[in-house]
């Protein structure tokens, strides 16, 4: 877009249309043979496409393109952290784009809300005078080098961590629960948790002799594990008052990575326990997201020894399950040309490291 303003478009008929035309041509002009031709249908799940559709596409007015540009926390952090005036850079991004004026105004308001949230959370700080890189605002210096807000509700998680007691024996797992509440729901996993929880509840109620109708009523109250659910809901309601932009997102307390740790299971054991053989990829991606959140969102002053241990354990679990997933991310984040030179140009060892090789 913007480079090629003129060109040609070649439209080819779908395979089933071509096959039908060939079959009709083979039947010739004989009406009986043409009636006997079994016409192929479009593959299931595809949009039907024929000559009338082609003619309509050629003659109709082009559909308007809708810009998908949006403002995220990661974008704002990246702009703030680079040299120059972040406000001028954001003004350029927010006004020199293909969105209509109403959308631009909405994005400007969203950017201001996100900036104020980052400022209140202590993630960024405003400078009295520009620094040596010409920045009027910068990412707070006491955050770890790889600090990142990977989820839309990560700023809320950062604020909610202050509600936890570092002296509590469950502090590390509570930190994990706060972060899990901001991750996308792995719906197949939660459905499996809910089914097992309800099955166990029904068995317990039958053993107690509870009547069927009463069992059905009580069953409606059974849900999948949601650690810190009430605390996080109350905190989120308070946070929303000062940060109305979070209304676009839903807090989702759950216990997937935490439950895996509490049950002391391996990845394969957890998959077998809930019957998730067809959702292994989804589960692994969720654990990788949880690991990144633990590593990149939790500030240094909230990292106890137990939190670091939990982070290392989760990272090791993902590596042992699929080493290429995290190791590739590590290589992109911290390229090591010397290591590549030792093993040859572009050498990559796809074997997962031995568990005993992780000292922690």
pLDDT in tens, 108-134: 998 998 888 888 877 888 998 888 888
| CA-wise closest residue to 194 among 124, 109, 255, 263 | 255
> Picking from 51-65, 102-116, 165-179, 331-345, which range would have the lowest pLDDT averaged per residue?
331-345
What is the structure's pLDDT at 277?
87
The torsion region of residue 135 among left (phi > 0), alpha (psi -120 to 50) and beta comes to beta
- Distance between CA 50 and CA 249 in Å, rounded? 41
Q: What does DSSP assign to residue 215? A: H
| Residue 21 pLDDT > 80 | yes
CA 248 to chain centre: 15
Half-sphere exposure of residue 54: CA atoms within 13 angstroms, side-chain side: 10
The mean pLDDT value for 54-75 works out to: 84
What tens digit of pLDDT does each residue of 294-308 get? 998 898 889 999 999
- Distance between CA 346 and CA 74 in Å, rounded? 29
What tens digit of pLDDT does each residue of 310-352 get? 999 999 999 888 765 556 656 766 766 555 444 444 445 556 6
Residue 169 CA: distances (Å) to CA of 175, 236, 259: 12, 24, 16
Decide: 318 and 352 in contact? Cβ < 8 Å.
Answer: no
What tens digit of pLDDT does each residue of 184-224 get? 999 999 999 999 999 999 999 999 898 888 888 888 889 99
What is the structure's pLDDT at 191?
95
pTM above 0.85, yes or no: no
- Distance between CA 316 and CA 307 in Å, rounded? 14
């Amino acid at each position: 877009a913007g480079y090629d303003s003129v060109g040609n478009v070649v439209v080819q008929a779908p395979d089933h249309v071509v096959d039908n035309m060939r079959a009709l041509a083979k039947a010739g002009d004989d009406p009986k043979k043409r009636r006997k031709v079994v016409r192929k249908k479009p593959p299931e799940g595809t949009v039907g496409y024929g000559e009338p559709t082609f003619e309509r596409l050629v003659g109709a007015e082009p559909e308007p393109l809708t810009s998908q540009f949006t403002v995220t926390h990661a974008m704002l952090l990246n702009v703030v952290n680079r040299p120059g005036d972040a406000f001028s850079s954001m003004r350029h991004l927010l006004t020199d784009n293909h969105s209509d004026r109403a959308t631009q105004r909405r994005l400007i308001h969203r950017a201001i809300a996100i900036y104020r949230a980052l400022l209140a959370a202590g993630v960024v700080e405003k400078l009295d005078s520009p620094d040596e890189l010409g920045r009027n605002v910068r990412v707070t210096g006491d955050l770890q080098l790889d600090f990142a807000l990977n989820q839309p509700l990560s700023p809320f998680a950062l604020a909610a961590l202050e509600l936890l007691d570092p002296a509590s024996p469950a502090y590390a797992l509570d930190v994990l629960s706060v972060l899990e509440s901001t991750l996308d729901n792995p719906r197949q996993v939660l459905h499996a948790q809910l089914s097992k929880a309800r099955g166990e509840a029904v068995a317990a109620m039958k053993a107690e002799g509870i009547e069927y109708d009463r069992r059905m009523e009580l069953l409606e109250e059974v849900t999948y594990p949601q650690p810190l659910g009430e605390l996080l809901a109350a905190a989120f309601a308070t946070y929303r008052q000062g940060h109305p932009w979070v209304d676009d997102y839903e807090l989702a307390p759950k216990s997937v990575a935490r439950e895996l740790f509490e049950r002391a299971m391996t990845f394969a054991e957890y998959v077998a326990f809930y019957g998730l053989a067809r959702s292994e990829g989804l589960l692994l991606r969720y654990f990788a997201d949880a690991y990144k959140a633990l590593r990149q969102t939790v500030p240094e002053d909230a990292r106890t020894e137990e939190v670091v241990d939990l982070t290392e354990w989760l990272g090791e679990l993902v590596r042992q399950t699929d080493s290429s997933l995290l190791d590739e991310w590590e290589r992109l984040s911290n390229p090591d040309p010397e290591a590549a030179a030792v093993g040859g140009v572009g050498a990559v060892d796809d074997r997962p490291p031995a568990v005993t090789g992780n000292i922690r």
